[in-house]
Amino acid sequence: MNLVISNLSKTYSNGVRALDSISLTIPQGMFGLLGPNGAGKSSLMRTIATLQEPDSGSITFGEVDVLKQKETVRQVLGYLPQEFGLYPNLSAETILDHFAVLKGITNSRERKEQVQYLLNRTNLLESKKKHVGGFSGGMKQRLGIAIALLGSPKLIIVDEPTAGLDPTERHRFLNLLSELGENIVIILSTHIVDDVRELCSNMAIINKGKVALSGSPESVIDKVRGKIWKRFVEKHEMESITSEYSVISTRMIAGKPLVHVYSDEQLSDGFVNIEPDLEDVYFHQISMIQQPPESAFVVSPSDKGV
């Protein structure tokens, strides 16, 4: 069952055009939606989740018209927003039971079985009696996904789920998503390239409310293969390098800038052609839309490509 988005647009009252004729077909499995903060990802997620109306366009999930059949969509939807509130003085078990009632699971035995199953599935069973105010960020995120899983949804949306998590919690959470994504549609909205690279069989890059690129990670990497070059430069060279070349990213390695450059043509002057990865694709697409060529560089905290 595919989620099909066609020509979706949304402009807010302050004049910000959050979505600009977005069209995507999202198949079963994990789908990564990459983009910087403010790209329009959350606006798209809220629209799919029936929390706001677009100005124009359509969304269908199988035979269901998402914009006209909101209650039908909500019956099969699990949604973990970027920020969500939990009552700090209530236990995880109590909160999950409360949301199960709101989800329409009125049979007490069925509700108890599902609550216990999801607490176990999200590795929270031993902490089910603890107040969530004392939970770590990762535990709260896992409780959030347990809430999203109530009622066996066919469509799950998670918005920036690993932001702020430590490496251990991040991997635990991503492994859980990966297990869930085998038989349903899961949309992973994030600005973290590694999350998409590790999990998703299909993806799109969105920026300034537009789809910049879509496809499998392998196919989008193919588009820049042979066109990414790297070189260490001196700090005083950065101004001339960014004015002469299409610099897509720069990072400091042992105090020295390492630049990645996009070029269709053979480069000399010390540049070495490298095998690209999804990070290079992402930086290239973002720099094309976000900044003019003379200043198009993105600072990355990673040391990839040395």
Which two tokens mark 6? Answer: 């066609």
Q: Which is higher by pLDDT, 33 or 291?
A: 33
Q: How far apart are CA 275 and CA 184, in angstroms?
A: 33
Which tens digit of pLDDT belongs to each residue from 45-62?
Answer: 999 999 999 999 999 999
pLDDT one-digit tens code per residue, 26-48:
999 999 999 988 899 999 999 99
Check pLDDT > 80 for residue 304. no
Confirm or reject CATH 3.40.50.300 for domain 3-215, answering yes or no: yes
Angle at CA of residue 118, ends 86 and 52, nearest 5°: 50
Supply the pLDDT for residue 303. 40
pLDDT at 157: 94
Give 85-142 pLDDT, tens digit per residue: 888 999 999 999 999 998 889 899 999 999 999 999 888 999 999 999 999 888 888 8
Find the helix or strand (DSSP H, E) in which 71 lies. helix 70-75
Residue 297: per-residue pLDDT: 35
Q: Tell me which H or E stretch contains 64.
A: strand 64-65
Q: Which pLDDT does position 14 carry in this prediction?
A: 93
**Is residue 153's pLDDT more than 90?**
yes
pLDDT in tens, 259-289: 999 999 999 889 999 999 999 999 999 887 6
DSSP 69: -
Residue-wise DSSP of 160-228: STTTT--HHHHHHHHHHHHHHTTSSEEEEEES-HHHHHHH-SEEEEEETTEEEEEE-HHHHHHTTTT-E
> Which of helix, strand or coil describes residue 153?
coil
How far is 198 from 187, CA to CA, in rounded Å?
14
Specify the pLDDT at position 289: 60
Query: What residue ranges do the domains of the chain occupy?
Result: 3-215, 223-295
Residue 127: left if φ>0, alpha if ψ -120 to 50, beta else—which one? alpha
H or E element that contains 72: helix 70-75
Q: What is the mean pLDDT of the chain?
A: 88
CA distance 36 to 1: 28
